[in-house]
Amino acid sequence: MLRFEMRVRENILKITALWALCALAHAQDMATSPAVPPPPPERHWRLGAAFGYGERSNPLIQSEDIPVIVDLDIAWFGKRWFFDNGDIGFTLSDRPRSTTSLVARLNSDRVFFGKTNTRYVNFAYTGNGDFAPLPATSEGAPVEAPIEVEPPDRDYAIELGVESLIDVEWGAVTLRAFHDASNTHGGYELSADFSRRWTVRRLSFAPMLGVSYKSEKLNDYYWGVSEREANVACPASHAGGGSPLEGGLLANYYLSPNLRVALSFNYERLSDDVAASPLAEDDHVFAYFSGLAWTF
C-alpha cells in the first residue's frame, strides 16, 4: 500500500501542471468563447490518437508497470458489423436507446504476463513454517542456492459474448457476458458498469463504476499455480471465482472540435482469491493517462 501511495503521488505531480493550465484556460473561456460547435455527422470510421504519458500498474509478481505514451482509437462501424479497438462485433438490435451485439475479444488478464522481470531469491524456512528470504551470506550457516522466481506463461483467450449498451435519463449502462471460445481457460465473465457524462461548455467529465464476476476456471488459469509450476518461492495455489470492483474518471477539455486535453484515472480492486494468489503482488490495478488527443 505504501508503494501504491507513493506512486500515485508521483504520478499526480506529473500531470497537475498540464491540467491546471487547462483549468485556467477554461475559466477564461467561460466569459469569452462560445460553446463547442455541434459534432460532425456520424461517419463509418473513427480515428484518433492521444499523445502524453500514463501507466497501468501490474499486480503480477516480479513484473513492471505498463507505460502508456500513445493511446490509439481506431474503430469502424458498418450497417451491422463493426470493429472497435480490437473488438469485432455484429449488431443484433439497434434501437434509439439501446444496442445489443455479439462481440469477439481477447481476454485482458493476459496483458500482465508480458511485462515480467525474472529475479533470483534465496529462500529458507522461518519459525512458523513460511518461506522468507535469506541474506546472500550468513555466518555459520550455508547459503541456499538461489531459486528462480519467474511468473508462469499464460496464453491469450478468444472470448465470445453479448454486449448491451443502454442509454437512460441518468446515464449509460453497459452489460456484458463473455465465454472462452478458444478453450484456453474454459471460463466466463459477467460485468455491468454505469457511467454519466456532464458537460460545461468546453469541459466534460464522466465518472464510471463497475462490477464483474470472473469464474473459477478463468481466475485459476491466469492466477492459479499448478503443481507442475510450483516451487519453493511460488507454492501451488488455486484461485476461485470472484467479483472485482472498478471505478474511474474520464475528463476532456476541448481546445477545438478535434483537439482536446484528455485525463483519465481507473482503479480496479481485485477479487479476494486473485489478490491472495502467490502470483499477485498487489490487490489492485491503478491506471492513469494525461495528454493531448486528436480525432481525425
Q: What is the pLDDT of residues 54-100, one digit of tens each?
A: 999 999 998 889 999 999 999 999 999 999 999 999 999 999 999 99
Please determine, for residue 274, whether its predicted confidence score (pLDDT) is greater than 50: yes
Write down the H helix ranges in the chain. Answer: 2-32, 216-223, 272-275
The Cα–Cα gap between 93 and 96 comes to 10
Please determine, for residue 5, whether its predicted confidence score (pLDDT) is greater than 60: no
**Domain encompassing residue 73:** 2-116+151-295
Q: Is residue 145 part of a domain?
A: no
275 with 285: CB under 8 angstroms? no
CB burial of 270-296 (b: ≥16 within 10 Å; e: otherwise) equals bbebbbebbbbbbbbbbbbbbbebbbe
Query: Tens of pLDDT along 99-120?
Result: 999 999 999 999 998 765 544 3
> Residues 6 or more apart from 49 whose CB is under 8 A from it?
70, 71, 72, 73, 293, 294
Q: Is residue 237 part of a domain?
A: yes
Q: Is residue 121 part of a domain?
A: no
Q: Is residue 130 part of a domain?
A: no
Confidence of residue 233 (pLDDT cuts 50, 70, 90): confident
Residue with the larger pLDDT of the pair 133 and 248 = 248
Confidence of residue 281 (pLDDT cuts 50, 70, 90): very high
Highest mean pLDDT: which of 9-13, 109-113, 129-133, 178-182?
178-182
pLDDT at 123: 38
Please determine, for residue 122, whether its predicted confidence score (pLDDT) is greater than 70: no
Q: Is residue 133 part of a domain?
A: no
- For residue 81, the number of C-alpha atoms closer than 13 Å in the C-beta half-sphere is 1
Confidence of residue 139 (pLDDT cuts 50, 70, 90): low
CATH of the domain at 70: 2.40.160.40
Confidence of residue 29 (pLDDT cuts 50, 70, 90): low
Query: Tens of pLDDT along 186-209?
Result: 999 999 999 999 999 999 999 999
C-alpha cell of residue 151: 511468473
Please determine, for residue 294, whether its predicted confidence score (pLDDT) is greater than 70: yes
Confidence of residue 148 (pLDDT cuts 50, 70, 90): low
| Counted domains in the chain | 1
pLDDT at 231: 83
Q: Is residue 22 part of a domain?
A: yes
Return mean pLDDT, the chain: 83
Q: Is residue 72 part of a domain?
A: yes
Q: Is residue 112 part of a domain?
A: yes
pLDDT at 102: 98
SS (H, E, C) 187-251: CEEEEEEEECCEEECCEEEEEEEEEEEECHHHHHHHHCECCCCCCCCCCCECCCCECCEEEEEEE
Confidence of residue 43 (pLDDT cuts 50, 70, 90): confident
pLDDT at 206: 97
